[in-house]
Structure 1
Amino acid sequence: MRDSTYAWLVLAASVLAEVAGTMALRHSDGFTRLIPSLITGLCYTAAIWLMAVSVRNLAVGLAYAVWAGSGTAVTALLGIILFEESASLLRLSGLGLIISGVVVLNLSAQ
């Protein structure tokens, strides 16, 4: 597997770990519940470690922008789906802009 392909897969795993940590954070009740709190810490630790591994072969600015944008978009979508958060036209438009920005950043890096 090419180094850049591996780096992108590791970055995707980092995004998933960050999103899982945020979902656990929602259930930690302000870090008063042990298991969700531990899951939050472990997932965030894994997300940062995986990000560090991915930037060995990716530009740090690009990797961070993709990580932050993707994590934000996925977390917001899960909030809408799982926690019945608002799905207003303005919110969905913002998510579309985040996703578009991530795509443009990827295209510009190539």
Structure 2
Amino acid sequence: MKYLFLLGAIISELIGAIATRQSNGFTKLIPSCIAVFGVVGAYYLLSLSLKGGLSIGVAYGIWAALGISILAIIGVFFFKENLTFLQIVGIGFIIIGVLALELGKIS
């Protein structure tokens, strides 16, 4: 269940971040409201995953890494943003770091 809450937190954060981009500096009401509810919902769901037993470092690492990676891909495909090779490598390092956090608790 803790991973379902974490997945919900990631999705909520993605919605909040995309709505923040669409809010035009919080000057558009609907995207601004969606952004606030998305971010608040993300933290609430993250808190439930922590309450369920996930360690904060691992939970936050997974949340951040997947959020960054997915938002970067969304930016490329939907907002016509560019990613350089170095940025792609950086995202890879973030993912590797989170995997190291997760796998580190096995040993």
TM (norm. structure 1) is: 0.89
Measured after TM superposition, the shift of residue 49 of structure 1 is 0.3
Matched, 1:45 2:40: yes
Q: State the partner residue of 2:70.
A: 74
Matched, 1:89 2:80: no
State whether residues 18 and 43 of structure 1, in contact with CA within 8 Å, keep that contact through their aligned partners in structure 2.
Answer: yes
**CA separation in 1, counterparts of 2:55 and 2:78?**
33
What's the C-alpha RMSD, in Å, of the aligned pairs? 1.1
Structure 2 SS opposite 1:39 = helix
Which of 2, 16, 20 in structure 2 is aligned with 1:21? 16
Superposed, 1:45-64 pairs within 5 Å as: 45-56=40-51, 57-64=53-60
Q: What is the identity percentage for the equivalent residue pairs of Structure 1 and Structure 2?
A: 36
- Per-residue deviation, residues 13-72 of structure 1 (Å, max 9, x unmatched): 101110110001010000100100010011111100000000011111211121122211
Measured after TM superposition, the shift of residue 83 of structure 1 is 1.1
State whether residues 70 and 102 of structure 1, in contact with CA within 8 Å, keep that contact through their aligned partners in structure 2.
Answer: no
**CA separation in 2, counterparts of 1:29 and 1:39?**
13
Q: Show structure 2 runs of 5+ residues with no match.
A: none
Q: State the partner residue of 1:33.
A: 28
**CA separation in 1, counterparts of 2:41 and 2:105?**
26
**CA separation in 2, counterparts of 1:86 and 1:27?**
18
Measured after TM superposition, the shift of residue 109 of structure 1 is 2.5
Q: Show structure 1 runs of 5+ residues with no match.
A: 1-5
